[in-house]
Amino acid sequence: MSKGKIILASSIADIADAIKREIESIPQKRALFIRTAAEAEEGDKWWLDKDRKALADAGLEIKDYTLTDKSKEEVKSILKAIDVVCVGGGNTFYLLEKMRACAFEELISEFMTNEKVYIGSSAGSIIAGPDIYPAYRIDEMKKAPSLTDYKGLSLVDFVVMPHWGSDYFRELYLGERLSHVYDHPENKIILLADDQYILSIDGWYQIKNV
């Protein structure tokens, strides 16, 4: 598990005021907004832009970024000038595939030992845990054909299942996800509603309502 402050949400935009409070004490607020997971999604990505705006409104100085086709050295270099890493939503499996290609797991672990901040939204929250397989969705997995395992970043020791209670995700949860998760009891699961977030500091965590 990681040092530093970790904020995990279903949607950053839905907890914007809470994020502003949680990052108030950070002297510099240079943030990297990683949009990689959304590259595998089709249609209008209004939800991604909404998250970005919420981060800017919270006082963060945003730099948009993708991990796709980046080397380890490139990512390491940019992280040196960053205080907050924000990982947006989209396809969790595609995101993991691109993270693996640039050794992001190693780099984010080093980044967090310097007591920095990680903010996750949806896929960005799922991938912070030890295993993304509970986020099972067969069509999403097909977009990351090179993955041979589904180990996450292990910044926390639980797996976030975002958008709990959302009508939009109801069919996914009742039709696929919950039955799949039930067959894998080794994972500690947190069902997270859109109006909640998880604050984790040095392995201690709390679920908060907004």
Sequence length of the chain is: 210
Sorting pLDDT into bands at 50, 70 and 90, what band is 166? confident
d(CA 150, CA 93): 8
Sorting pLDDT into bands at 50, 70 and 90, what band is 101? very high
Return the CATH number of 5-209, one of 3.40.50.880, 3.30.230.10, 3.40.50.1820, 3.40.50.300.
3.40.50.880
Which residues are registered as beta bridge partners of 201?
A: 5, 204
3-state secondary structure the chain: CCCCEEEEECCHHHHHHHHHHHCCCCCCCEEEEECHHHHHCCCCCHHHHHHHHHHHHCCCEEEEECCCCCCHHHHHHHHCCCCEEEECCCCHHHHHHHHHHCCHHHHHHHHHHCCCEEEEECHHHHCCCCECHHHCCHHHHCCCCCCCCCECCCCCCCEEEECCCCHHHHHHHHHHHHHHHHCCCCCCEEEECCCEEEEEECCEEEEEEC
Closest residue by Cα to residue 159 from 151, 147, 167: 151
Residues catalogued as catalytic: 122, 163
pLDDT above 80 for 23: yes
Question: According to the model, what pLDDT value does residue 139 have?
Answer: 61
pLDDT above 80 for 184: no
Sorting pLDDT into bands at 50, 70 and 90, what band is 138? low
pTM of the predicted model as reported, rounded to 2 decimal places = 0.93
Question: According to the model, what pLDDT value does residue 1 have?
Answer: 59
How many beta carbons lie within 10 A of that of residue 6, not counting itself? 24
Question: According to the model, what pLDDT value does residue 26 have?
Answer: 87
Question: According to the model, what pLDDT value does residue 171 have?
Answer: 78
d(CA 115, CA 117): 7
Question: According to the model, what pLDDT value does residue 2 have?
Answer: 65
pLDDT digits (tens, 9 = 90+) for 107-127: 999 999 887 999 999 999 999
Higher confidence at residue 194 or residue 139?
194
pLDDT digits (tens, 9 = 90+) for 37-76: 999 999 999 999 999 999 999 999 999 999 999 999 999 9
